[in-house]
Amino acid sequence: MFIYTVKSGDDIAAVSRMFGIPASRILADNALSRPNDLVVGQHLIIMSNSMRHVIEEGQTMYSLSREFEVPLDELLAANPDVNPIALHVGDVVNIPIGETTAKRPAVINGFAYPTISENALACSLPFLTYLSPFSYSITSQGDIIAPNDERLIERANAADVMPLMVVTNISEGSFSTETLSQILADPDARENLISSILSELPKKGYYGVNLDMEYIAPADRESYNEFLFELSDRLHENNYILITAVAPKYRADQPGILYESHDYRAQGEAADYVIIMTYEWGYTYSAPMSVQPINEVRKVLEYAVTEIPSQKILLGMPNYGYDWTLPYTRGTAASSIGFTAALDTAVRNNSEILYDENSQTPYFYYNDNGTRHVIWFDDAKSIDAKLRLIDEFDLAGASYWTINRCFIPNWEIVQNLFEVVK
């Protein structure tokens, strides 16, 4: 697999000739409905191991080796009929691309709202280890309130994907600090919550619990840890797994209600896997920026692997970007946008896609009825860069928030890099 950056004058036919693969394959792999849906800076997945290159003035095999980052001996071996010391302008050279290394196993989780379409489910399920319907909510007495999860459980089982019971401290539509505090302070409520979970698991056929507790009061840190260990023990006694979700932290004593009670070391001991929610640097009310800047994610992982066994960590992957109105005014809201919709917007407005190397994220500008906008999103190149952190830090895999939007190139990359654990 190779990721190609569209240049001025490119069209699908030219890219097809360059790599020697059918245009229809390029369109399908990149979810392009029309052959002219290209803009400068767009990144295309090319499922090929080589490309044709026409020699230009001054180029040598050595300069090509450096330009395309291919070892010189591999470049020479790929062109046995080419005299390397007698290249001429217009000669065609075969450039080997792509990787031949063995795929590593990876655990892939996908959160999904019950409203997910059949198309989005079908798009993602072949590449998932776990499907996590979102979500069970709780009351201050420790009772649980189920989502409409039956369809998702049925579809997961049919696709050889293990469904997980997502439990959150959502109450009346938002994460509730107070509701969780009341449960943690009341032994009867804690026992009721754990018993209710254990009772629900076999009824629905869940394989375990995906626990997403957020905005936990800092004063509840230790009582929450105690609850985690108790829940973990009870689940493991009954052959269920526990996955927890934590906010992205740079250090143990990071202040703020999102961070203080997410004890990485304790959760790494109690849980089978820990999802680090490495997204939302750019968010609804932030200034325009990357949702998942790789430079910040790397800092989080550098800390996380000192507290949590790396093979228990699932890298949080966002499946959305944001569209900001410019000039940005503090307090104004950006609109969430899917990656396919973002690319469609770029094509519709003939916007050049730019790429921020520091965050490894694409973005572009466009005008709508005289109003300027900027969209930060993810594409094949940025997704590939971020998923490679799994190998760099020897992580267990990734967790997507959410799979409700289908973006085919993402799953092409997952399939290219990993052997998904089933």
Tell me the pLDDT tens digit for each residue of 105-157: 999 999 999 999 999 999 999 999 999 999 999 999 999 999 999 999 999 99
**What are the chain's domains?**
2-96 (3.10.350.10), 105-420 (3.20.20.80)
Residue bearing the bigger pLDDT, 332 or 173: 332
Q: What is d(CA 413, CA 48) in angstroms, rounded to the nearest whole number?
A: 13
Is residue 102 scored above 80 in pLDDT?
no
What pLDDT does residue 117 have?
A: 97
The residue with tokens 């001054």 is 58
**Which residues, other chains included, contact 33 with Cβ-Cβ below 8 Å and sequence gap of 6+?**
27
Rg (CA), the chain: 24
- Per the annotation, the verdict on 237 as an active-site residue is no
**Which residues, other chains included, contact 113 with Cβ-Cβ below 8 Å and sequence gap of 6+?**
133, 134, 402, 404
User: In percent, how much of the chain has pLDDT > 70?
Assistant: 99
For the stretch 333-376, pLDDT in tens is: 999 999 999 999 999 999 999 999 999 999 999 999 999 999 99
Beta bridge partners of 106: 420
What pLDDT does residue 385 have?
A: 98
Is residue 99 scored above 70 in pLDDT?
no
What pLDDT does residue 100 have?
A: 56
Is residue 401 scored above 70 in pLDDT?
yes
Give 183-216 as a 3 state SS string. Answer: HHHCHHHHHHHHHHHHHHHHHHCCCEEEEECCCC
What pLDDT does residue 52 have?
A: 86
For the stretch 252-282, pLDDT in tens is: 999 999 999 999 999 999 999 999 999 999 9
**Which residues, other chains included, contact 330 with Cβ-Cβ below 8 Å and sequence gap of 6+?**
287
Active-site residue among 67, 118, 154, 214? 214
Structural tokens at position 205: 């056929």
DSSP class of 217: -
Q: What is the mean pLDDT of residues 395-420?
A: 97
DSSP element (H, E) containing 296: helix 294-307
299-326: string of b/e by CB count within 10 Å (b at 16+)?
ebbebbbebbeeebbbbbbbbbbbbbbe
DSSP code string of 311-330: GGEEEEEE--EEEEESS--T
Nearest residue to 380 via CA among 123, 47, 43, 97: 43
Question: Please, which pLDDT band fits residue 250 given cuts at 50, 70 and 90?
Answer: very high
- Are 404 and 369 within 8 A, CB to CB? no
Q: What is d(CA 131, CA 161) in angstroms, rounded to the nearest whole number?
A: 7
- Are 326 and 366 within 8 A, CB to CB? no
Q: What is d(CA 400, CA 111) in angstroms, rounded to the nearest whole number?
A: 6
What pLDDT does residue 396 have?
A: 98
- Are 235 and 198 within 8 A, CB to CB? yes
What pLDDT does residue 101 have?
A: 65
**Which residues, other chains included, contact 9 with Cβ-Cβ below 8 Å and sequence gap of 6+?**
none
Q: What is d(CA 392, CA 386) in angstroms, rounded to the nearest whole number?
A: 10
Question: Please, which pLDDT band fits residue 97 given cuts at 50, 70 and 90?
Answer: confident
256-269: string of b/e by CB count within 10 Å (b at 16+)?
eebbbbbbbebbbb
Mean pLDDT, all residues of the chain: 96
Nearest residue to 361 via CA among 347, 374, 371: 374
For the stretch 285-327, pLDDT in tens is: 999 999 999 999 999 999 999 999 999 999 999 999 999 999 9
Is residue 380 scored above 80 in pLDDT?
yes
For the stretch 46-90, pLDDT in tens is: 998 888 888 999 999 999 999 888 899 999 999 998 999 889 999
For the stretch 19-49, pLDDT in tens is: 888 999 999 999 898 888 899 999 999 998 8
Phi, psi of 374 (to 5 degrees): -135, 135
Q: What is d(CA 45, CA 26) in angstroms, rounded to the nearest whole number?
A: 7
